[in-house]
Structure 1
Amino acid sequence: MLTEIPALLSENEIIAIRERLATAEWVDGRQTAGSQARQVKRNLQLDDDSVLAKELRDFILRKLGSHPTFLSAALPCSIFPPRFNCYEHSGAYGLHVDNAIMTLPDQRLLRSDISATLFLSAPESYDGGELMIEGSFGAQSVKLDAGSLILYPSSSLHEVRPVTNGRRQAAFFWVQSMVRETHQREQLFELDQAIQVLSVDRGADDHEVRRLSALYHNLLRSWSVTA
C-alpha cells in the first residue's frame, strides 16, 4: 500500500528548511549505501553528523510524532532518523530494495517495514526525479508537492529517476511498525479511518462506533509486536 500524507510540513516550514539547505555542505550519497545499492546510487546527502542534519532530523521527528495519519498508517515502533538527499545533474538511484535490517544510532537494530520520502522541492522546480515504486499492479510514479510524505513497503523494488534539470531535495527514513505484515497494517488503517468518519457523523459514544473501536484495538493487540 502506498499512503500519501499531504502537507506534513507547512509552506513556511518548507521555505525555512530550503533556506537552510541552500548553504549546506553535501557529501557523496554512496557513503551510506550498501554494497549492491552503491552500484546504482548517484546523489548527494547531508552529512548525518552535521548540526544542520541533527536539527532538521529532530524537527521532522516531532512533526511525525504528532501527525494522526502517519501514526495510524505506520503504527511506528521505531523510526530510523531522517536523512536528507539531493539529486541534480542527472543524479539518480537505480532499481533497488532497502536493507531489511538497519542499525540505529544507539546500536539497536531496526527491521525496515516501511520506507518514507518527504519531498522538500516543489515538483515544478525540477525535471525527472520521480520515485518509481513497483507493486502488484505495476510500477507507480510518485512526485509530490513540497512538504508531502509518501509511505510504502520497504520490501518494494523502487528507484529515483534521473533529475535532468533543477534540484530535487528530500528527507527519507524507515519505520519498524508494531504490525509487521503489510496487509494487516492496511486493514487496520482502513478500519481506523472509517471509525474516524463515523465518530464525526454519529458521535464517539455511538454503540456501533464503540464496537468498531473495540474490534480495531483487539486486532491491534493480536497482530502487534512491540519488541
Structure 2
Amino acid sequence: MLIQIPAVLSPEEAAGYRARLEQAAWRDGAGTAGHVAAQAKTNLQLADDDPLGRALGAAIVDRLAAMPRFIAAALPLRVLPPRFNCYAGGGAYGRHVDSAIFTAPGGRERVRSDLSATLFLSEPDSYDGGALIAEFGAGDQPVKLPAGHLLLYPASSLHQVTPVTRGMRFAAFFWVQSIVRTQARRTMLLALDDSIQALSARDPAEPEVVRLTGLYHNLLREWAET
C-alpha cells in the first residue's frame, strides 16, 4: 500500500532545501547499501554524519511529528534520521528490498524497518526518469510526487528508482518502526481512523463516532508493540 502525505514542506521550503543540497559534499551512494543492493545502486548520498544532512533531517522529523496524517498512517514508534540522495546523469537504484534492521545513531539501538519513506524535494517536471516504483500484487506503481510531498510504503516491498536522464532528483529517505508491525493491521486502522474523521466532520454528535473510536483504540491496544 502506497500512502501519500502531501505538503510536508511547502514548495518554497523544498526549493530552499535544494539550494543547500546543490552545494553539499556528495558521496557514492553504493557505499551505504548492502552487498546485493550495492550492485544496483548508482546515485549520490550525503554521509550520515554530514552536518547539513543532520540539520535538514531533524527539521523534517520535527515537521512530521506535528502532522496527523503521518501519525495515523505510520503509527511511529521510532523514526530513523532522514538521509539524502541525489540522482543525475543516468543514476538509478535497481530492484531491491530495504534492510530489515538498522542501527540508530550512536549505535545503541536497533530499529526494525516496517515502513520506508521518500520525501521528494525536486519538482517532477525538472527531471526525466527518477520514478519510484514499488511492486505489489497488483503490479508496479510508478510515483513522482511534487516537491515537499512524502510517500510511505512497506519496507518489505521490492522497489526501485528508474534512471534519471535529465536534471537532478533530490530526496530525503528514511525508515519507520511502527507500533503496529504488520501492514494489514496498519491499513485497517488507517481505514477505521479515516471513517471516524469523516463521520465526526459531518456530525460531531454522532453516537457512532464514540463507538468506533473505542473500537479503534481497543484494536490498537491489542496490536501495539511498545
Matched-pair contact (CA < 8 Å) for 2:45–2:85: yes
2:104 equivalent in structure 1: 104
Structure 2: runs of 5 or more not aligned: none
Q: Give the 5 Å matches for 1:34-183.
A: 34-107=34-107, 108-183=109-184
**Which deviates more, 44-53 or 86-95?**
44-53
| Structure 1: distance between partners of 2:37 and 2:151 | 21
Cα distance in 2 between the residues matched to 1:208 and 1:10:
36
Q: Deviations over 1:60-105 (max 9, x none)?
A: 0001111100000000000111000000000000100000111111
What's the TM-score, normalizing by structure 1? 0.97
Partner residue of 2:32?
Answer: 32
The reply to whether residue 213 of structure 1 matches residue 213 of structure 2 is yes
CA contact (8 A) 2:54 2:81 kept: no
Residue 194, structure 1, aligned to residue 203, structure 2: no
The aligned length equals 225
- The letter for the 1-side match of 2:87 is Y
Amino acid of the structure 2 residue aligned with 1:157: L
Unaligned runs of 5+ in 1: none
Q: Could you tell me how far 1:106 is from its partner in structure 2?
A: 3.0
Give, in whole Å, the separation in 2 of the partners of 1:148 and 1:181.
Answer: 24
Deviations 1:23-53 (A, max 9, x none): 1110110121111111110000112212111
Equivalent residue, structure 2, for 1:14: 14
3-state DSSP class of the match of 2:166? strand
Identity %: 56
Q: Distance in 2 between matches of 1:69 and 1:99?
A: 25
Give the aligned residue type for 1:128.
Answer: G
2:157 partner SS: coil
Instruction: Name the CA distance, whole Å, in 1 between partners of 2:11 and 2:170.
Output: 15
Cα displacement string for residues 191-220 of structure 1 (whole angstroms, at most 9, x for unaligned residues): 1011111111111x4321000000000000
Question: Structure 1 CA distance, aligned partners of 2:99 and 2:149?
Answer: 24
Greater than 3 Å deviation, 4+ residue runs: none
> How big is each residue's C-alpha offset from its partner over 1:141-188, in whole Å with a ceiling of 9 and x where there is no partner?
011110000000011000000001110010000000000010000000
> Distance in 2 between the 1:225 and 1:82 partners?
23
Partner of 1:225: 225
Distance 1:179 1:194 in 2: 19
Amino acid at match of 1:78: R
71-80 or 105-114, which deviates more: 105-114
Q: Secondary structure at the match of 2:34?
A: coil
Q: Distance in 1 between matches of 2:84 and 2:13?
A: 16
- The range that moved more, 193-202 or 170-179, is 193-202
The AA in structure 1 aligned to 2:183 is T
> How many Å separate the matches in 2 of 1:159 and 1:153?
13
The worse-fitting range, judged by mean Cα deviation, of 44-53 and 57-66 is 44-53
